[in-house]
């Protein structure tokens, strides 16, 4: 009897963990928007949106918590919850809610007409106590049209696949690749997909057709050595973001070349810790001998107090010109002092951040970012060496009791010379793009954004940005005549540039940017985005105006 009971309990234990999926959910997945809104609504306590790459198992835990508050959800929120439950509750996948293109069996539907249904879709899926894997076919077509100042267009189209799953309930894996081409205007194409700005094949342009490719892949090991103690280790490449920020982030915005990295996450009680050591590349040069590798090391400590707030301290170092430095592989050390002991060759930054959790339907965030200088003459704010930035943000969900509606307000200020370094190879950039906030140094931005979930299939978004910048001034021959600290690749030049620099000095540029986006999923796993943007730019210094209007329609699928 005891033996039968033992085997029965063992059987239940094994099969209760069969679908503990440890692969990450891509950072652009719509489930993150839903979790964010539920967090601000007061249903979720902490969704780690400063370090938002969550596994499918972590997403499922959040959905389970939301389920317990079902009575507080609007109709659209309930439908969104059901939609994501179908996707992330792998143990409940069957022929009633899941369709697979290849293969047949009792698990999933293989009726061809279901490809147009509301069922979740896979090219192929397999479930086993020791292994799961899912094959998804990825495809995209984008038509972009520029209306002003000149009429022009580009078309982007690509195809690929994603292969992901979990082994032995602990080891998550993912591999994806996409290959695409561009027709129409090659120069206009990056306007519609900024990833082309740091894609080697597209920039190199040595073939008779514009083309590009994207590849991601990683292994992620998860362990829970004690109850509610979570430890994970990841190696590989995927899109990541780091830090707070609704529009863009001061630390790692994600709008840059993907990092290849080692990543350690630890969470227990109120304490969490993340350590990343990644590699990337410098600016593209047609002379391949001039191309180089740069590395970034990042540590972050955070304390989270339920129903109150989260506060964190982080630091990172960018270095190049040598292999991996063992000093920066140490996750338990203060990088700035280590960097000084290594003869002050590298670019170190420090940041503090805060996120509230004590106001229902309202979230407040703040980040203070300090580039290199820690102790010297911080009171002299206009000194070139005081390379600081800060961001203040507010998120209001269901304002004035309007369900499914959100309002975001955010102000970001980045002082001159932030993100620069005396060694241009150690600038806070990768492949010519900023790692940090999109506006760059010597600039500020006011952001207002309203979003509305019309239903579980349609989301409307309207965004306004007011951006001011002080850019470097060049003479008629293209020589730098005044360094305003507005270019991340041009640092302060001793004995040339003034010791003090006022914010927004240089060639003053003001921009008003309006963006309207409709996102819809008319058929499950088939998506459409319709975007229109207006950029009104005023050069205050030269007293000139310019206007750019463009839009695109994008269709993509993950089957």
Host H or E run for residue 204 = helix 200-204
Distance CA 79, CA 34 (A): 11
Instruction: Tell which wins on pLDDT, 495 or 65.
Output: 65
Residue 17 has pLDDT above 80, yes or no: no
Q: How far apart are CA 358 and CA 305, in angstroms?
A: 10
Looking at residue 239, what is its pLDDT? 95
pLDDT computed for residue 114 by the predictor: 79
H/E stretch holding 203: helix 200-204
Percent of the chain surpassing pLDDT 90: 81
CA atoms within 13 Å, Cβ hemisphere of 232: 27
Average pLDDT over residues 128-143: 93
Which DSSP string do the residues of 68-87 spell out, in sequence order?
TTGGGS-HHHHHHHHHHHHH
Residue 552, pLDDT above cutoff 60: yes
- State the Cα–Cα distance between residues 120 and 141, nearest whole angstrom: 21
**389/114: higher pLDDT:** 389
**HEC string for 316-341:** EEEEECCCCCHHHHCCCCCHHHHHHH
The secondary structure of 468-514 as a DSSP string is EEEE-EE-TTS-EEE--S--TTS---TTTS-SB--TT-SEEEEEEEE
Do 95 and 109 contact (CB within 8 A), yes or no?
A: yes
* DSSP E strands, 204-270: 210-226, 229-237, 260-268
pLDDT tens by residue, 430-488: 999 999 999 999 999 999 999 999 999 999 999 999 999 999 999 989 899 999 999 99
pLDDT in tens, 208-226: 889 999 999 999 999 999 9
pLDDT at 373: 73
pLDDT at 189 over 70: yes
How far apart are the C-alpha atoms of 78 and 64, rounded to whole Å?
Answer: 13
Residue 103 binned pLDDT confidence (cut-offs 50, 70, 90) = confident
Whole-number Å distance between alpha carbons of 559 and 556 = 10
Give the pLDDT band of residue 18 (cuts 50, 70, 90).
very low
Q: What is the mean pLDDT of residues 137-149?
A: 97
Give per-residue pLDDT as tens, 355-402.
999 999 999 999 999 998 766 677 778 898 899 999 999 999 999 989
- pLDDT (0 to 100) of residue 92: 85
Query: Which DSSP state fits 26?
Result: P
pLDDT score of 375: 65
Average pLDDT along the chain: 92
Q: What is the pLDDT of residue 517?
A: 98
Quote the CA–CA distance of 291 and 257 in Å, as a whole number.
15
pLDDT above 70: percentage of residues in the chain: 95
**Intra-chain end-to-end CA distance of the chain, in Å:** 48
């Amino acid at each position: 009897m005891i033996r039968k009971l033992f085997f029965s309990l063992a059987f239940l234990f094994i099969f209760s963990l069969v679908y503990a999926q440890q692969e990450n959910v891509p950072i652009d997945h719509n489930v993150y928007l839903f979790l964010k809104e539920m967090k601000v609504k007061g249903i979720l306590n902490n969704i780690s949106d400063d370090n938002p790459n969550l596994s499918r198992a972590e997403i499922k835990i959040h959905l389970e918590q939301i389920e317990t508050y079902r009575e507080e959800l609007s109709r659209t929120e309930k439908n969104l919850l059901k939609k994501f439950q179908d996707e992330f509750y792998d143990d409940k996948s069957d022929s009633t809610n899941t369709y697979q293109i290849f293969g047949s069996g009792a698990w999933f539907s293989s009726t061809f007409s279901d490809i147009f249904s509301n069922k979740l879709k896979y090219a192929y899926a397999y479930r086993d106590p020791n292994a799961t894997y899912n094959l998804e076919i990825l495809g995209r077509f984008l038509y972009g049209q520029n209306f002003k100042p000149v009429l022009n267009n580009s078309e982007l189209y690509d195809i690929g696949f994603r292969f992901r799953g979990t082994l032995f309930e602990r080891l998550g894996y993912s591999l994806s690749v996409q290959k695409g081409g561009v027709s129409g205007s090659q120069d206009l194409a990056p306007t519609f997909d900024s990833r082309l700005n740091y894609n080697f094949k597209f920039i190199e342009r040595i073939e008779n057709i514009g083309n590009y490719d994207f590849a991601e892949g990683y292994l992620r090991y998860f362990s829970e050595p004690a109850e509610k103690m979570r430890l994970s280790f990841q190696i590989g490449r995927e899109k990541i973001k780091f830090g707070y920020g609704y529009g863009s982030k001061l630390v790692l915005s994600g709008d840059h070349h993907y990092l290849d990295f080692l990543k350690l996450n630890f969470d227990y009680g109120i304490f969490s810790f993340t350590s990343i050591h990644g590699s990337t590349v410098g600016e593209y040069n047609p002379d391949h001998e001039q191309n180089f590798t740069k590395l970034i090391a990042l540590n972050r400590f955070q304390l989270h107090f339920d129903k109150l707030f989260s506060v964190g301290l982080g630091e990172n170092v960018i270095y190049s010109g040598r292999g991996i430095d063992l000093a920066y592989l140490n996750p338990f050390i203060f990088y700035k002092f280590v960097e000084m002991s290594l003869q002050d060759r590298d670019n170190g930054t420090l940041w503090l951040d805060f996120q509230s959790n004590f106001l229902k339907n309202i979230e407040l965030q703040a980040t203070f970012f300090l580039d290199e200088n820690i102790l010297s003459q911080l009171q002299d704010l206009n000194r070139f060496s005081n390379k600081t930035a800060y961001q203040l943000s507010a998120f209001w969900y269901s304002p004035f009791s309007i369900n499914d509606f959100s309002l975001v307000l955010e102000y970001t200020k980045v002082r001159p010379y932030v993100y620069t370094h005396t060694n241009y190879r150690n600038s806070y950039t990768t492949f010519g793009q900023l790692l940090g906030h999109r506006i760059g140094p010597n600039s500020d931005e006011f952001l207002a954004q309203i979003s509305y979930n019309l239903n579980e299939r349609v989301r409307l978004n309207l965004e306004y940005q007011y951006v001011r910048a002080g850019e470097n001034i060049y003479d008629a021959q293209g020589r730098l005549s005044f360094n305003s600290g507005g270019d991340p690749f041009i640092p302060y030049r001793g004995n040339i540039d003034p010791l003090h620099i006022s914010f927004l000095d240089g060639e003053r540029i003001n921009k008003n940017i309006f963006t309207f986006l409709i996102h819809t999923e008319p058929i499950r796993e088939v998506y459409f985005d319709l975007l229109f943007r207006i950029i009104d730019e005023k050069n205050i210094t030269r007293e000139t105006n310019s206007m750019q209007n463009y839009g695109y329609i994008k269709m993509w699928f993950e089957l």
